[in-house]
Structure 1
Amino acid sequence: MTIDNEDLRLAVYRWFAETGQAPQVAELADRFGVDTGVVRGGLRALAGQRHVVLDDQDRVLMAHPFASIPLGFAVMGTSTLWWGGCAWDSFALAHLLPDEPDVLVSTRCPGCDRPHAWVVGRDAPPGGDQVAHFLVPVARMWDDVVHTCGHQRLFCGESCVDDWLERSGNERGYVMDLATLWRLASGWYAGRLDRGYTRREPATAAAYLREAGLRGPFWGLPSG
């Protein structure tokens, strides 16, 4: 008994898109008519290709931009609630879900705990003076992807970023405004719900990142 890995990948992503939740190993085994060991093997292969992130029991934690664990963001559609894996992924959901004209992204500022929410659509970035802070540089994002995503957050402004960095002892990463975050998220996952999707590697996506307005060694790009 086998599963085509692309069929399995699509099943995981579409399950997330339709329900807001990750499919369980047993649910995927029932869907494909195979035993759970076959599903676990397929999920591990997808994790090796960085299509999904698993825990030590082969449960799906993330299939970017979807998450099954809270990492600071909730994303509400017309009738479905998703966990946003990070600021980047939360803004990306509006662009990936064809049946949602926009989504409501909500979070709290890590610096002062103030609540924030934006209606994020596909036509233009939301307004606001808030900023996103990305702690982990692109070359190290997959060293611990849960840690990375948990530290791509939205703050009231740069003063809240500075306060949080001082309290946490972390070094400053990359700060961007909402418009830049929206541009970064808008096309990054294009085609991810379709068959034959080719994963976009940050290290090989220089042109896309430059078009989004990103520069510097944090992104593996020239500063100019």
Structure 2
Amino acid sequence: METGRVRTDRLGVLLDQFDCVRERAQIRLEGLGDEEYLWEPVPDCWSIRRRSEAVTPRAYGPGEWVIDKGAPDIPAGEYAEVARQAADGMSVAKIAEDWSVSVERVEEVLAHSGPVEPDISPVTTIAWRLGHLHSCFAGEWEWTFGERRTDPHQLVDFTPSAALAQERFWSLLDRWRDAVGRVTEDQLDTIGFSRYPYGSAPDEPYISVLWGSNLELIHHMAEIALLRDLWQARF
């Protein structure tokens, strides 16, 4: 259904949200230069680096440049999600597989009671956040609409060029938007329509996966916008 230019059907609401975020994000990233793109505002940032200079145990990428990734764990902010997964009937073994942790670690999380300590997360550069988004959307496309064969960690050739990174990213989002726009009502309700292997996508109806993808784009683009503000105010 459409009311004026606004769609009110389930897919339409998510597509309109995506389009709005993408438009604002592209405007917000205009003028991004290489120095700002790679700027590390504090020590020990996560970023993209040459493979020979990687500082994290699971940094990945198919080419010379890789993106930082730390040891697997379940952050405190996701304890409630793990409890929900268990309550919905997901086995401890499957939860452990999805999070790349041990069964014992999942059992520890499920046994936790009371408040949790805030996560201490690394500060990440604009290059990292944009590369992370690119990797996520590339993997989601491949494992939903593509051949579902290539390791998501090998899909994005990270680059130190802000202009090239954006060119590749916006092109990918165009392909993503085109494919999602053709999803049917039945596919929205299909559990496992996305087979993206990192996370719970294969265990969720596709409409939930789309909701999560929009959220990922929104919150990382908001973080990029803040980093741009800090860059401008650093003097």
Q: Check whether TM > 0.5.
A: no
Q: Which structure has greater strand proportion?
A: 1
Q: Which has the larger radius of gyration?
A: 2
| TM-score between both structures, scaled by the size of structure 2 | 0.25
| TM-score between both structures, scaled by the size of structure 1 | 0.26
**Bigger relative contact order, structure 1 or 2 (CA pairs below 8 A, ≥6 apart):** 2
Q: Which structure has greater helix proportion?
A: 2
